[in-house]
């Protein structure tokens, strides 16, 4: 006898499965076994059940939402780190110009390097490289 239920939310076990699934160390089988506390089914059966759960629209949506939230957190950290680094390089550049070395002159080389790093961080400069796999006479610079 089967009882069909209209589920509008995923279960706590399905949520745990999704959370474990986001961890790269967990395979579908391992995540299913731990989330559903099922250690008696064969690996083949567990793999099939895990795939069945992953095909459910609510579970799929939950996984995609989790991935988006994680991506946003990572991006926020990167943006913060980039801004912080950018500001620090600006301070170092000013310090290099202000401080006088043994020669009594500003350390322009260090200031230029700090500015170059700021520009690279802001994607203003792109390193060029030469393709050495081409035969002689066909050298091309790539951006």
pTM, entire model: 0.51
pLDDT tens by residue, 55-79: 999 999 999 999 999 888 888 776 6
Compute the average pLDDT of residues 102-130: 74
Q: What is the number of alpha carbons within 13 Å of residue 127 lying toward its C-beta?
A: 5
Q: What percent of the chain has pLDDT over 90?
A: 38
Residue 141, phi then psi, degrees to nearest 5: -85, 135
Q: Measured between alpha carbons, how far is 86 from 38 in angstroms, rounded to an integer?
A: 50
**Domain ranges across the chain:** 12-55, 75-128
Compute the average pLDDT of residues 109-118: 80
Are 79 and 60 in contact by the 8 Å Cβ rule? The answer is no
Q: 39 or 102: whose pLDDT is higher? A: 39
Q: How many CB atoms lie within 10 A of CB 128?
A: 8
């Amino acid at each position: 006898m089967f009882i069909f239920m209209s589920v509008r939310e995923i279960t706590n076990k399905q949520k745990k499965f999704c959370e474990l699934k986001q961890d790269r160390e967990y395979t579908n089988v391992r995540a299913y076994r731990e989330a559903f506390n099922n250690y008696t089914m064969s690996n083949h059966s567990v793999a099939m059940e895990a795939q069945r759960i992953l095909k459910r629209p609510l579970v799929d949506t939950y996984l995609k939402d989790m991935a988006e939230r994680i991506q946003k957190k990572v991006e926020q950290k990167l943006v913060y780190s980039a801004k912080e680094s950018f500001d620090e390089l600006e301070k170092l550049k000013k310090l290099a110009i202000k401080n006088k070395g043994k020669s009594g002159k500003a350390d322009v080389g260090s200031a230029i390097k700090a500015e170059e790093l700021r520009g690279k961080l802001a994607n203003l400069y792109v390193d060029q490289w030469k393709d050495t796999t081409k035969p002689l006479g066909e050298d091309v610079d790539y951006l």
